[in-house]
């Protein structure tokens, strides 16, 4: 059981650490909102979506998705379109405009956008279903449950920490330059990911 917990922690942390679409969105929201409480809808939505994906992966959906070619192709195509659009929007966005827009966002809009970033992110889907789901096959019973719970806890702690870090950076950088540069880097990462997925097809 201890080995399952350690395995789950290392695996989940390694998968969630890279700067991806989901992470950048949570970080940006933390930096842009006036109060940290206002970013909770985004944090909770991203965490719940990851919980859903990890749970589905561990309980066997990975075998179905990876075994049916058209499902995998559909997920990849949707992900490519989403990443291209998000990259374009992020590249053109300006920090001050985003802050003003974020003020008018209702919790429902924040939740919808966070859910789309999480559930239409092909890397998140492939990481959870392909990697975590496959890794969980080596465990049974309570060890499998512990592996899953640890992966989920890492996800929740990461998103809360990321939003707090974004909040701190947002307070230190009043000019918005850091967020502007981060947006440019994020857009390039999204486009690079989309190109990688296109070639993988």
Residue 149 has pLDDT above 60, yes or no: yes
71-129 pLDDT, tens per residue? Answer: 767 766 776 787 787 778 778 766 544 444 444 356 777 788 888 878 877 777 777 87
CA 160, CA 26: separation in Å to the nearest integer? 9
CA 98, CA 29: separation in Å to the nearest integer? 9
Local confidence band at 49 (pLDDT 50, 70, 90 cut-offs): very high
Neighbours of 55 (CB within 10 A): 16
Q: Looking at per-residue confidence, does 162 or 23 come out higher? A: 162
Residue 194 · residue 80 · CB < 8 Å: yes
**Per the structure block, which two tokens stand in for 158?**
């990461």
CA 100, CA 30: separation in Å to the nearest integer? 14
CA 201, CA 119: separation in Å to the nearest integer? 20
pTM of the model: 0.71
Residue 152 has pLDDT above 80, yes or no: yes
Residue corresponding to tokens 């981060």: 182
Shortest CA distance to 25 belongs to which of 42, 4, 7, 8?
A: 42
Shortest CA distance to 26 belongs to which of 99, 110, 101?
A: 110
**Per the structure block, which two tokens stand in for 61?**
């959906």
SS3 of residue 174 by DSSP: coil
For the residues 121-142, what does the mean pLDDT come to?
77
Local confidence band at 13 (pLDDT 50, 70, 90 cut-offs): confident
What region, left, alpha or beta, does residue 189 occupy, with left being phi > 0 and alpha being psi -120 to 50 degrees?
A: alpha
Q: How far is CA 200 from CA 124, 165, 188, 197, in A?
A: 16, 34, 18, 5
Shortest CA distance to 192 belongs to which of 119, 115, 116, 123?
A: 123
Domain borders along the chain are: 2-200
CA 186, CA 79: separation in Å to the nearest integer? 16
């Amino acid at each position: 059981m201890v080995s399952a917990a350690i395995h789950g922690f290392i695996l989940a942390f390694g998968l969630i650490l890279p700067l991806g679409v989901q992470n950048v969105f949570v970080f940006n929201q933390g930096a842009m909102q006036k109060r940290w409480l206002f970013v909770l809808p985004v944090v909770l939505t991203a965490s719940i979506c990851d919980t859903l994906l990890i749970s589905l992966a561990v309980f066997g959906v990975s075998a179905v998705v990876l075994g049916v070619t058209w499902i995998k192709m559909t997920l990849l195509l949707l992900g490519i379109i989403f990443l291209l659009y998000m990259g374009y929007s992020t590249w053109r966005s300006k920090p001050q405009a985003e802050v003003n827009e974020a003020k008018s966002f209702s919790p429902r809009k924040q939740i919808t956008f966070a859910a789309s970033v999480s559930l239409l992110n092909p890397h998140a889907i492939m990481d959870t279903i392909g990697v975590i789901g496959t890794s969980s096959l080596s465990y049974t019973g309570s060890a499998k449950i512990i592996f899953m719970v640890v992966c989920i806890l890492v996800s929740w702690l990461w998103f809360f920490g990321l939003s707090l870090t974004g909040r701190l950076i947002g307070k230190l950088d009043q000019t918005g330059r850091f967020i502007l540069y981060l947006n440019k880097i994020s857009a390039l990462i999204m486009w690079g990911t989309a190109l990688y997925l296109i070639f993988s097809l």
